[in-house]
Amino acid sequence: MRIFKSIKWRLQIWYGLILVVVLAGFGITAYQLEYGRQMRRIDGELHLRFGMIANVIHESLPPPRNHPRFGAPPPDQQPDDFPPRQNPPPEKFILPPWTLGFFDTSNLYGYYFVITRDGHEIERSTNAPDQEQFAYPTSRGSVTEINRTEEPPYFQKNDPSVKYNGGYNYDADYGKQRMAAGQPGQAWMRGTFREVITDLPSGEWILVGKNITPELKELHRSGLEFACIGAIILLFGLAGGRWIVSRALHPVESISATAIKISAGDLSQRINVAEAESELGQLAAVLNSTFARLDAAFAQQKQFASDAAHELRTPVAVILTQAQTALNRERTAPEYRETVEACQRAAQRMRKLIGALLELARLDAGQEPMKRLKFDLSQTARDCVELIRPLADERGVKIISELPPLEITGDSERLAQVITNLLTNAIQYNNPEGEVRIAVQSQDGAAILTVSDTGAGIAAEDMPRVFERFYRADKSRSSANNGLGLAISQAIVAAHGGTIEVASEEGAGTTFTVRLPVA
């Protein structure tokens, strides 16, 4: 299904499942705690009334013969055995009136009791369930008939010492020990009745119970309330979770919408980052930066293509014009020669421009191999100075060199191309009888090469665009300079892991500074 492929819906479903588990666990735990609290309260009341009846019976019955308080038992009698009584107990036992206040006999849901001896019932409260509803213990053999759903701890299975009917064995020692300490048996449920039952050493069975239907209804009502409250919390939680998930994924939707617009060709679009501190906000900021670089790269590429077309259009126009002129009518040999020479000059300009473009493309793609050999940068600079000196002499420019030996690692031919280009520009854009100074020095583990002139300088508005391709500060397209020299120089220096910077002051000259790693 498509709904399960949506991140928003998957997060919402997981959030809802976790919320359901947490609420269900909390509700069940709360219900169990409340159920346990109610049962402990009722059990405490049952034990209180059980102990009260047991004490009254104990005080009212005559003591048995040979009781430990009256002497040791005969040698043939075990200490845990109960000897026969000195006097028989009364057939009918009546609780004192003050004890009846603990049993609301007029209330079917009040506390009740049943007392039996030797299989005969000797006392019961009027609100106790009758024999037809439950089988009360009338002897030790019938004790298991009262509980067929829960097994109290004083019912023991497979005890060969005592055999009773009903399938369970009763541990008499355990019961006697608990009653001697005044402790009844563990309470258990019999339908909607909560009861405790144990026999006394004197032979009486005491059952104390309570119909807990009202308490069970209250617990059920509490459980329903917990369920309703949990459902309300779940609904609000799901609504709040949907709002939180939608808000958290809003940058993703914005990113998608912006990407669609960019794919349509509008590179100026940016993602509106409302929460820059979140992970998605940080992602949006990174994407905005990427889009900005792409926009700048496409704009530069567009400008580059336009400038390249402009530069190539001029020599192509010259060749076409010269060819058309020569074909219009018959020409003399000198005229044909002049036409061919003009076409040759235009073709050479085109070849030079195409070569520079190919070189830039290879440098941008990292396909232009750079040698990594040790060489003397100062010697390379001196060779470049000697190469360019005729041009300087022609314009009357003086070249001053400060070139102490400095060994670095790199491609000497490529760096010689950079130095030659910087010296050529310094001479071409210098004043007549001006000076060009070239210097090399080592600073902070880097080689510093500076080329400065005493020309007119570069205007402040042109400084940021000096290294742009096809850019010329004089705005002239008729110059032999194609505007790619500084761009190529910057690419070569960058390939060596260095930087090239320019500083200029109008009327005072320009200085180019190249920083290269020594190793």
Torsion of Cα atoms, 67 then 68 then 71 then 77, to 10°: 70
- Smallest Cα–Cα separation from 489: which of 426, 416, 433? 416
Residue matched to tokens 């064995």: 169
d(CA 156, CA 148): 14
Residue pLDDT, tens place only, 437-477:
999 999 888 999 999 998 888 888 888 888 877 766 655 44
The structure tokens listed for 129 are 């369930």
CA distance linking residue 128 with residue 190, whole number of Å: 13
The label of the residue with tokens 């991140």 reads 7
Here the tokens at position 78 are 């075990």
Radius of gyration of the chain (CA): 54
Low-confidence ranges of the chain (pLDDT < 70): 1-5, 60-94, 131-185, 273-278, 280, 300, 303-304, 307, 310-311, 364-368, 471-482
How many angstroms separate the CA atoms of 158 and 389, rounded?
A: 120
Give the model's pLDDT for residue 154: 35
Distance CA 469, CA 292 (A): 19
Pairing mode of beta strands 373-376, 407-410 = antiparallel
pLDDT, averaged across the chain: 76
Nearest Cα neighbor of 418 from 435, 397, 440 is 440
Q: In the prediction, which pLDDT does 89 show?
A: 54
Question: pLDDT at position 168, please?
Answer: 29
The CA-based angle 410-465-393, given to 5 degrees, is 65
What per-residue confidence (pLDDT) applies to 21?
92
